[in-house]
Amino acid sequence: MKIPVGELKVSVYIDVRCNKHTWDLIYKPVIECPYYLTLDKGERGIHDNYVSVIKKRHPNWEDSPSNRYESLMELYCDIKKNGYIPEKAEAPMKVWIGTTVLEDGHHRAAVLCKLYGPQYMINVEDGSPVQDNGLPPDHYLCSNPCKE
């Protein structure tokens, strides 16, 4: 389906909101995600602070080269220089079925939104189904802070 990149949402890790857990997930529009803000403000610290939160759940996050700051900047520079060529990506941009939440393509969406604006139309494919509660599988949400 075709959708304006600014209408997509992404899963964003945030600092703990309760005494029991060390991280939480919320959904934000691409234009409010840390990758977009890193590009928009030109501040690496935004990316680094975000990664420090992700590493509470995924300690080896930066072992994958695609998760590093340098990769985000390489992607930005490549698309800025050569335009967006979807076929160059390892996988298509995907949303969780029945949602506008990206399953794959968070970095690309941030770059496209920064370079071309939130109204830029992109193709996304259906990805995986959500659970009965409407959440993507493996997404633990502590949206109601624990009372201990």
Q: Is 147 part of a structural domain of the chain?
A: no
- pLDDT, tens digit (0-9, with 9 covering 90-100), for 70-104: 999 999 999 999 999 999 988 899 998 888 999 88
The answer to whether residue 139 sits within a structural domain is no
Of the pLDDT bands very low, low, confident and very high (cuts 50, 70, 90), residue 137 is low
**Who wins on pLDDT, 46 or 54?**
46
In a domain, 89, yes or no: yes
Count the domains in the chain: 1
Q: What single string gives the DSSP state of each residue in the chain?
A: -EEEGGG-EEEEEEE-SSSS-SEEEEEEEGGGSHHHHHHHHT-HHHHHHHHHHHTTT-TTGGGSGGGSHHHHHHHHHHHHHH---GGGSSS--EE-TTSSBEEE-HHHHHHHHHHH-TT-EEE-EE-PPP-TTSSPTT-----S----
pTM score, whole prediction? 0.87
* 76 within a domain of the structure (yes/no): yes
Which domain range does residue 6 map to? 2-126
Is 116 inside a domain boundary? yes
Of the pLDDT bands very low, low, confident and very high (cuts 50, 70, 90), residue 139 is low
